[in-house]
Amino acid sequence: MFSGLISVTQTGLDSLGLHFHETHADPAKMAWAAATTYRLFGFESAVVPLDMCVEASALGAEVDFRGDAPAPTFPVVVSPLADSPSDLSLDVSGEVTKRGRIPVVLEAIHRLKDDVGQEVVVGAWIPGPFTLASQIVNFVNLMKDVASSPGEVGRVLDALTDLLVQVALAYRDAGADFITIHEMGGSPGVLGPKAFQSLVQPRLQRLVAAIPAPRVVSACGRTDRYMPLLAESGAEALSVDQLNNLAKSREAVGTSVLLFGNLDPIGTLANGDEASVRSAVRRAIGEGADAVWPGCDMWPPVPAANMNAMLDEARSLGS
């Protein structure tokens, strides 16, 4: 059992005496934290970065690392860079992988490969182009312009795709064994199939094609009706969340791609009991998951007992 998204627990952070906000700008702490889920529970991957603001901050967005939060809380972009797509000017030329915290992530990947890379897969992930756009452009206006100014939205998505290609290739060169593209905000289950096909799918296909295999596309929402569209991305695997009907998704794509999912990271893993976690693992496997993944980023407060139950049940079923 493994994942291609953020998989850090409060238990793991406590074992190192770390606060979550400390891990985002320090490559050693980032790597140590990412490895704890394997070291403590046997999770078969170690994945960085540990927040979804890396690329946005490299473009100049201010990030709140939530250092004053009483519990581990994911960082957020403080404010968008532009009010609308037409207001946004992007420079993605030159060595963009030297900007912001991208070098921190690259060094963390190197450290993970040296530390646990002979024992588990080391993954890295990037946001999808629309998900990244939603961080740096006023979201309400971005969604309005999907319908009213698709050309401007497409211009922004093209530039962001260029950026994400560079970042993903740098992560692979640093030693990441696979890349997950987390298009949570731009999935057909969120945007609808028409907007996805016209705006997101072509950029997603270009992004996937530029990255060496293996590649995973992660999409949120009720996507089971649109799985063939996601499969056309060209990725070897698709990761879906708890709103997805895995059985219908498996029927839709057959064996053309691997299907990962779809444990509810909050309702089941963090807030459920051990019995509900085991039941969710059995359901996911029974409905056709090739690997049991949390449906999104792991919520750090997940109890250790639930982590152990999840891994134990998955092992007993051979996933």
As a whole number of angstroms, the distance between CA 190 and CA 220 comes to 7
Distances (CA, A) of 238 to 1, 153, 187: 15, 25, 12
Torsion angles phi and psi, residue 147, rounded to 5: -90, -40
Domain assignments of the chain as residue spans, ordered by start: 10-316
What is the model's pTM?
0.96
CA 231, 102, 261, 39 torsion-angle sign = positive
Strand partners, 237: 216, 258
Instruction: Report CA 6 to chain centroid distance, whole Å.
Output: 7
Of 175, 158, 287, 168, the C-alpha closest to 235 is 168
Return per-residue pLDDT of the chain as tens, 319 residues: 899 999 999 999 999 999 999 999 999 999 999 999 999 999 999 999 999 999 999 999 999 999 999 889 999 999 999 999 999 999 888 889 999 999 999 999 999 999 999 999 999 999 999 999 999 999 999 999 999 999 999 999 999 999 999 999 999 999 999 999 999 999 999 999 999 999 999 999 999 999 999 999 999 999 999 999 999 999 999 999 999 999 999 999 999 999 999 999 999 999 999 999 999 999 999 999 999 999 999 999 999 999 999 999 998 887 5
Query: Which of 3.20.20.210, 3.40.50.12780, 2.40.240.10, 2.40.110.10 is the CATH number of 10-316?
Result: 3.20.20.210
**Residue 53: exposure state from Cβ atoms within 10 A (0-12, 13-18, ≥19):** buried
Is the peptide bond preceding residue 262 cis, with omega within 30 degrees of 0?
A: yes
Q: Which residue has the tokens 């029927």?
A: 251
